[in-house]
Amino acid sequence: MNFVAVNHFNGEQLKLARMASGLSLADVGTALDVTRQYASRLENNATPSEDQIELLCKLLLVSRDFFFRPRLKTIEVEQCHFRSLRSSTQTLKKTIMAQVEMLDSYFVTALEDEVGFPEVNIFAAEDGEFDSVQSIEVLAERARRGWGLGLGPISNMVKLLEKLGCIVVNLVDADERVDAFSIYTGRPLIVRNTTKLSPGRLRFDFAHELGHLIMHQGMETGCRATEQQANNFASAFLMPRSSFIAEFPRVRGTYFNWEAMIDMKVRWGVSLKAILYRAKALGLITTEKAKSGYMYLARNGFTKVERGDDLMAVENPTMLQRAMDLLDNRTLENLLDNSGLNKDILSSRYDLKLSKPLLRSV
């Protein structure tokens, strides 16, 4: 893909790269040794000097050409689904949206032109298919049936999403207030926050985002209702009711059989908290009993990392990396040149590695 240049400095591109770097206008002003007001004028298409452009390239890890091209797409809020949205600031959301836009617009799209990705195979739910807990249960069963998954554990959620045509990408050291993020433009893209270390919680996040993609295309999410719907879908999708009811360990008097639950956690690739949530939803335990289980987990320091997590592997995306590895050196070099992104961004921000050194520095 070759990007059409414009004949003037495009302040929109500066704004995009600045937001993706998590920097303020004042930060840019400091780097250029100018005022915040001057930096703001640059984002409104004032023309910087060549020395200032060079400083911006180093600061934002983009090439000079990046500032002299049109902004290809602007991601809108209703296209995005944030996990833990209520605790995320507007600045944080804008940063992540900009990071995803830069990768998707200037690198992923061009990479797909070179390699080709699986056809998108995610259906959109109709109105009425997710307006109740029971209807979401049926929807999750429909998804499993349609994708030939049966009623057993899903061995790898990331591989499933990539097989369905989703781009799954790591965001390195993203703010811990964001668990996961998804966007559906031409192709679904799901972001994994690498600061999250619990394998079961990550799998739940992926299933949660899949629920958003199925139920909430074109809808602004983040409210309590849409988050609950996505949680219900993830729970039902990862732990089908008939299988779960058959396997859930019986409560012995007032005590949970935690050892049996850990075995179940590892087998199904979920967290202990998710098992309690599912058991309560299916009427296998009372609300009070579920609360006592949650309290046990919190009391023992299992709110972020649980017992049994060390027995489960963290699932990582592979499709983008494999696509990069398939390209010969010159093609990848040209792709990076055209993208306007510095190669260091790929590794430091998106955990994408160059398998061999480039012929020249990009």
**Whether 107 and 57 share a structural domain:** no
> What pLDDT does residue 4 have?
56
Residue 262 · residue 307 · CB < 8 Å: yes
Which pLDDT tens digit goes with each residue over 139-176?
999 999 999 999 999 999 999 999 999 999 998 877 67
**Whether 59 and 79 share a structural domain:** no
Domain boundary among 71, 98, 117: 71
Residues near 311 by beta carbon (within 8 Å), at least 6 away in sequence: 262, 266
The three-state secondary structure class of 284 is coil
**Whether 170 and 285 share a structural domain:** yes
> What pLDDT does residue 76 have?
66
317 pLDDT more than 90: yes
**Whether 178 and 94 share a structural domain:** yes
pLDDT (average), residues 300-313? 94
Residues near 266 by beta carbon (within 8 Å), at least 6 away in sequence: 308, 311, 312
Residues near 22 by beta carbon (within 8 Å), at least 6 away in sequence: 95
Site of tokens 């893909």:
1
> What pLDDT does residue 361 have?
46
96 pLDDT more than 90: no
Task: Pick the more confident residue, 115 or 78.
Answer: 115
d(CA 144, CA 48): 54
Domain coverage including residue 207: 74-362
> What pLDDT does residue 132 have?
95
| Least confident residue range of 83-87, 160-164, 228-232 | 83-87
78 pLDDT more than 70: no
**Whether 195 and 265 share a structural domain:** yes
Which pLDDT tens digit goes with each residue over 234-271?
999 999 999 999 999 988 777 899 999 999 999 999 99
> What pLDDT does residue 287 have?
96
**Whether 91 and 236 share a structural domain:** yes
> What pLDDT does residue 15 have?
96
d(CA 122, CA 107): 23
> What pLDDT does residue 35 have?
97
In 3D, which of 30, 33, 36, 69 has the Cα closest to residue 49? Answer: 33
> What pLDDT does residue 357 have?
62
**Whether 110 and 20 share a structural domain:** no
**Whether 59 and 149 share a structural domain:** no
Which pLDDT tens digit goes with each residue over 49-70?
999 999 999 999 999 999 999 8
**Token couple for 314:** 């963290």
Distances in Å between the Cα of 218 and the Cα atoms of 42, 81, 93, 343 are 33, 10, 18, 33
Q: Report residue 208's pLDDT band, with 50, 70 and 90 as the boundaries.
A: very high
**Whether 124 and 179 share a structural domain:** yes
pLDDT (average), residues 77-106? 75
pLDDT (average), residues 65-84? 76
| CA 48 to chain centroid | 35
77 pLDDT more than 70: no
**Whether 138 and 30 share a structural domain:** no
Tally of structural domains, the chain? 2
Exposure string of 83-117, with b = 16+ CB inside 10 Å and e = fewer, is bbbeebeeebbbbbbbbbbbbbbbbbbbbbeebeb
85 pLDDT more than 60: no
Give me the CATH number covering residue 43. 1.10.260.40
> What pLDDT does residue 335 have?
92
**Whether 43 and 122 share a structural domain:** no
d(CA 349, CA 37): 28
> What pLDDT does residue 195 have?
80
Share above pLDDT 90 across residues of the chain, in percent, rounded to a whole number:
73
Q: Report residue 47's pLDDT band, with 50, 70 and 90 as the boundaries.
A: very high
**Whether 362 and 277 share a structural domain:** yes
Domain boundary among 19, 40, 71: 71
Site of tokens 């199925």:
214
> What pLDDT does residue 362 have?
46
Q: Is 7 exposed, middle or buried (0-12, 13-18, 19+ CB in 10 A)?
A: exposed
The answer to pTM > 0.95 is no
